[in-house]
Each structure stands twice: as C-alpha cells, then as structure tokens.
Amino acid sequence: MIFERKINYYETDGMRVVHHSNYIRFLEEARCDMLEKMGVSYKTIEQEGLMIPVLEVQCEYKHPARFEDTIQIALKFKEFTGVKMTIAYEITNKEDGKLVVKAETKHCFTNAQLRPVHLKKVKPEWYEIFMEYSKG
C-alpha cells in the first residue's frame, strides 16, 4: 500500500529539513490509512475494546525531505502472527524517487487492559483480513 502526504513547514527544523521525530508520526499516519483501507479502522478497533500499541520503532534516515516535498510511504506486513505484527516502510520523495527513510514498527494486539490477545480468538473475521493483507 502507498500513503502520500505533503511536508508542512512546521514539520521542518532549523536546517530546513523534516525533523527526525516527525517521521514516526508519518509512519503512524500511513499505518492508520492502511487499516482504514483494509476495512478495520483504528477507531473501529478501539470501539471493540482492542488496541495495537507500538512495541518498537526502527528508522534509518537516508536522505532529507524538505518543506513542500511530497513523500510516498510504501508499507507492507513483514510479519503477522495474530498476536504480534511487524510493518516495514519505505519513504521516498515522490519528485525524485530518492529513498528518505527505511523503517519498521512492531506491534501487538491487546485488550483495553493492555493484555495481549490473539486476534483469531477475539475477532476471527479481522484475523482473516490481516492474514490476507500479510500475504502481500
């Protein structure tokens, strides 16, 4: 899946490039967009008493993005077990195709008390959707 967004001025720093912390936000925007496209929005997930907290984030900064650049975030499942998932991201500059960031986020599915749950047991229809998308 591809998520696209334009860089806002307030997301840049004194060097006129995107501040490194904003890429974590961009990953989350792309992830929420992906869930929505899958038909299982984060809002719906929370309404059902489930959460998908972030366990780990790994980013490699390759090339700076700047104000008014349009970036494209390609994301795909690297791993999905029903309890945990890992998503891989590649952020590129739409105009020149340069790789901006390579990243991964690791997550687990939990109940409202943040106890891990197996999606297959608590929401089998969602488990099937996630399985389908994780196959690529």
The span from the CA of 124 to the CA of 118, in Å, is 9
**Annotated active-site residue in 13, 33, 69, 96:** 13
Question: Is the distance from CB of 62 to CB of 87 less than 8 angstroms?
Answer: no
Token reading at 110: 């939990």
Dmax over Cα atoms in the chain, in whole Å? Answer: 49
Could you give the residue ranges of the DSSP H alpha helices within the chain? 22-38, 42-47, 119-122, 124-134
Count the residues in the chain: 136
Q: Is 69 considered catalytic here?
A: no
By annotation, the residues acting in catalysis are 13
